Amino acid sequence: MLSSFLTNRATGWEIIAPNLTITIFGLLTFAAVIFLMFVIGERSNVKAQEWIKYLVFLAPALVLLTIGLIYPAIRTLILSFMDARSETFIGLDNYVWAFTRPEILIVLRNTVIWTLAVPIFSTSIGLAIAYFTDRMKRGAWVKSLIFMPMAISFVGASIIWRFVYQYEPNLKKEDIGLMSAIAKALGVEDPPNWLLEAPTNTFLLIAVMVWIQTGFAMVVLGAAMKNIPDEIVEASMLDGASQWRRFSQITVPMIRATIVVVVTTVLIGTLKVFDIVRTMTGGNFQTNVIANEMFNQAFQQRNFGTGSALAILLFIGVIPIVIYNIRQLRRERTER
């Protein structure tokens, strides 16, 4: 047994050693190149030092950006026009497949529902909590509790909420699901299996994302409210403005740019949602979304063409949101 353990350990080291050697060699080479650039910069004139400075700080970032983002994006775009084994050019067939297959249309529909529901509910609830706790004596305690889910990973949150939605068909066993317990307390004798009932299960998964993102929206919008001058609020109170009018005509317009940033940030994160669906339902029972289906097609079914096409559709969906967000930030800076 000892000899077998030593043999397996040696075999494992033989696999790890080459990769570890390459990694160490790459890091040392990178450090040597940077050190050489600094030495050359010290011995160069002022004009040359400017170019060397740009080269030292920008070149590594550009190289990593090219390797980690630009090349994979171009490669994915090319694969989206190829067949399942990336051997034959088939044109737009993968995109036609994405918009004609009934099961993929359900995936696209679910993704649209996610991108509409999560930003609206997260931002609205976060804005309401931030507003009502703004002048509360112990508002920090409330905000801490609401923000706490942000510290939990999506997988961890999904596991927690799976217990909430737990369904126990065997009446002899104790039902630990909170939703089922509430349903029974309201008089429902046989609660449904929550994660199997479509389309209710999609909205139950959305609730997990809203639970996580509400804290982010609350903190950012609450910080924006702190920048509203007290003189404006006090003047509106002296004029007899109601709580709702102060909120709708003063608070919201003055933090509109921040609201847009929060909505677009949550929207981008929602478009890429994967962990929640993967952990709770695996994309089954009509709960699938683009990111999860992309993983299934590319890495489980080994259909790189359709997987790449879904990745490109996801990328195309994110681009307009990013552009709009950048324009809003530039407009805000111009107004300042």
Strand partners, 82: 89
Range of the domain at 54: 2-79
Q: Name, in order, each residue with C-beta under 8 angstroms of 331's C-beta and a sequence gap of 6 or more.
A: 257
Do 194 and 204 contact (CB within 8 A), yes or no? yes
pLDDT band at 325 (very low <50, low <70, confident <90, very high): confident
Q: Residue 255: pLDDT above 80?
A: yes
Do 307 and 184 share a structural domain? yes
Question: What end-to-end distance do the CA atoms of the chain give, in Å?
Answer: 73
Q: Residue 3: pLDDT above 60?
A: no
Do 56 and 137 share a structural domain? no
Do 196 and 285 contact (CB within 8 A), yes or no? yes
Q: Does a structural domain hold residue 75?
A: yes
The model carries a pTM of 0.79
Domain end marker among 79, 108, 133: 79
Q: Does a structural domain hold residue 84?
A: no
Do 67 and 113 share a structural domain? no
Residue 242, CA distances (Å) to 116, 125, 233, 238, 250 in order: 30, 20, 11, 10, 11
Do 264 and 188 share a structural domain? yes
Between 56 and 259, residue with greater pLDDT: 259
- What's the domain count of the chain? 2
Domain end marker among 79, 102, 134: 79
Do 131 and 74 share a structural domain? no
Other CB atoms within 10 A of residue 11 CB: 10
- CA angle centred on 16, ends 32 and 23, rounded to 5°: 15
pLDDT band at 23 (very low <50, low <70, confident <90, very high): confident
Do 160 and 46 share a structural domain? no
Give the DSSP letter of residue 89: B
Domain end marker among 49, 79, 109: 79
